Amino acid sequence: MKKKILFVFGTRPEAIKMAPLVKEMQEQKASFDVKVCVTAQHRHMLDQVLDIFEIKADYDLNIMEKAQTLFHITSACLLGLEAVLKKEKPDLVLVHGDTTTSFAAALGAFYQKIPVGHVEAGLRSFDLDNPFPEEANRVLTDRICSLLFAPTPLSKNHLLKEGVSTKKISVTGNTVIDALFLALKKKHTVKNMPLLKFLNHKNSKCRIILVTAHRRENFGKPLENICTALRKTADNFKDIHIIYPVHLNPNVQKTVNTILAGHERILLIEPLDYLDLINLMKLSNIIVTDSGGIQEEAPALGKPVLVLRKVTERPEGIKAGTVKLTGTDKNKIIRELSLLLKSKKHYNKMAKAKNPYGDGKASRRIISSIKTFFNPKLKSTVKQFN
């Protein structure tokens, strides 16, 4: 009997990581009736991803408002989803990761006694303030889910230590790698004009450092330290260009423009759409970020990553050697960038480390686990990721 699956997501990272799973399920029409509900917690950036992967939402709650608070996002998601859940009566709700949308959607399904599957379950920083509120969101979401799709064995171990039954957990790899491989196959022309102009005129010997830094916990002095370190690095190495797509949040814009604007080898541009971003990642030599998803994507492209956080819920990359945690200490950022730029041996050690996050088959593993959930006599057809 065909099962109705309701996907709920609202931000660009969620959409990217859910897209390959949505597409894979939609192709299995005999097994699944797929419905997609977007909350539009992030409006414009979400829409870009839906267009890229040609996904049409069946429901759009359109909750985003200017200067929205966590109170607004949570309550608007819950109230909007109530009608959707009551109308569709899905057999399973799928949520992703650690956003407020994900937690609210899982809670709403729980209130309706609908099973929930959590894609990218089990990540932990063990610090409720870093990242905030994501660490709390994912912990709370995991507690009310019937199916937990852990991207790595370490994520599974976190869940087991919290008392989650091993029967609920599947180790799948991360769907972000599925999405990356799908997206890189698409024909692409750079849309961001300042970036296109730079790429068309750059010296073939110049090295590119891609920066993404916008997290709430880095507002203020931490972001000032990051920017100071970037400017110093640009001054010290005449063959590098730093490209920084700057988040539209005023807290980010003010700091970044005050410290970095006007430098001849620092390009500040608007946030990039997904295809522009991953293609720029592919061209870059080093990536400096406080993002979560980029910590997983960059290793698949052979790019060393410096993470601008105190802690990371993705320690697998650190253990593998492809990611290094710098925090926001400006001297440490300068030192680690200098080491990568000066030492070919050190650079290659990070660039050639094995990616621990996935092999592009996570969606297939998740679907196999869902089929087994509905029919326990059915054996999984795909080996778990390790």
pLDDT at 121: 98
Paired with 148 in beta bridges are 118, 169
Q: Sign of torsion, CA 253 259 260 261?
A: positive
Domains and CATH numbers, the chain: 3-174+358-374 (3.40.50.2000), 193-351 (3.40.50.2000)
Strands 305-307 and 286-289: parallel
Which phi and psi angles does 230 have, rounded to 5°? -65, -45
Please check the confidence at residue 161 and state whether its pLDDT lies above 80.
yes
- Is 313 an active-site residue? no
Over residues 7-63, the pLDDT tens digits come to 999 999 999 999 999 999 999 999 999 999 999 998 888 999 999 999 999 999 999
Local confidence band at 354 (pLDDT 50, 70, 90 cut-offs):
confident
**Which among 14, 60, 120, 178 is annotated as catalytic?**
120
DSSP 8-state code for residue 77: H
Query: Exposure pattern of 161-199 as b/e (b: 16+ CB <10 Å)?
Result: eeebeeebbbbbbbbbbbbbebbeeeeeebebeebeebe
Please check the confidence at residue 382 and state whether its pLDDT lies above 90.
no
pLDDT at 67: 85
Over residues 245-293, the pLDDT tens digits come to 999 899 999 999 999 999 999 999 999 999 999 999 999 999 999 998 8
What whole-number distance in Å separates Cα of residue 230 and Cα of residue 328?
11
- Identify the residue whose tokens are 């700057």: 246
Contact in structure between 172 and 362 (CB atoms under 8 Å)? yes
Please check the confidence at residue 376 and state whether its pLDDT lies above 80.
yes
pLDDT at 232: 98
Q: What is the mean pLDDT of the chain?
A: 95
- Is 216 an active-site residue? yes
CA 83 to chain centre: 28
Local confidence band at 120 (pLDDT 50, 70, 90 cut-offs):
very high
Contact in structure between 132 and 155 (CB atoms under 8 Å)? no
Local confidence band at 136 (pLDDT 50, 70, 90 cut-offs):
very high
Local confidence band at 321 (pLDDT 50, 70, 90 cut-offs):
very high
Query: Exposure pattern of 317-347 as b/e (b: 16+ CB <10 Å)?
Result: bbeebbbbbbbbbbebbbebbeebbeeeeeb
What whole-number distance in Å separates Cα of residue 205 and Cα of residue 125?
38
**Which among 65, 129, 216, 235 is annotated as catalytic?**
216
**Which among 14, 24, 88, 98 is annotated as catalytic?**
98
pLDDT at 158: 98
**Which among 24, 60, 88, 134 is annotated as catalytic?**
134
Give the list of residues 6+ apart from residue 251 with CB closer than 8 angstroms, or none: 219, 220, 223
Please check the confidence at residue 362 and state whether its pLDDT lies above 90.
yes
Give the list of residues 6+ apart from residue 142 with CB closer than 8 angstroms, or none: 118, 121, 122, 148, 159, 162, 164
Cα–Cα separations (whole angstroms), residue 263 to 177, 224, 267, 270, 305: 34, 16, 8, 17, 23
**Which among 12, 118, 124, 214 is annotated as catalytic?**
214
Structure tokens given for 200: 């068309």
E strand map for 120-265: 147-150, 169-171, 207-212, 240-245
Please check the confidence at residue 149 and state whether its pLDDT lies above 90.
yes
Give the list of residues 6+ apart from residue 227 with CB closer than 8 angstroms, or none: 255, 256, 259, 260
- Is 42 an active-site residue? no
- Classify burial at 31, counting beta carbons within 10 Å of its beta carbon; exposed 0-12, middle 13-18, buried 19 or more: middle
pLDDT at 151: 96
**Which among 247, 263, 265, 364 is annotated as catalytic?**
247
**Average pLDDT, integer, range 302-309:** 96
Cα–Cα separations (whole angstroms), residue 117 to 5, 142, 275, 333, 350: 10, 9, 28, 38, 34
Lowest mean pLDDT among 119-123, 357-361, 375-379: 375-379
* Percent of the chain residues past pLDDT 70, beyond the cut: 100
- Is 297 an active-site residue? no
pLDDT at 2: 94
- Is 214 an active-site residue? yes
pLDDT at 187: 87
Which phi and psi angles does 245 have, rounded to 5°? -70, 115
- Is 120 an active-site residue? yes
Local confidence band at 152 (pLDDT 50, 70, 90 cut-offs):
very high
Cα–Cα–Cα angle for 218, 219, 221, rounded to 5 degrees: 85
Local confidence band at 202 (pLDDT 50, 70, 90 cut-offs):
confident
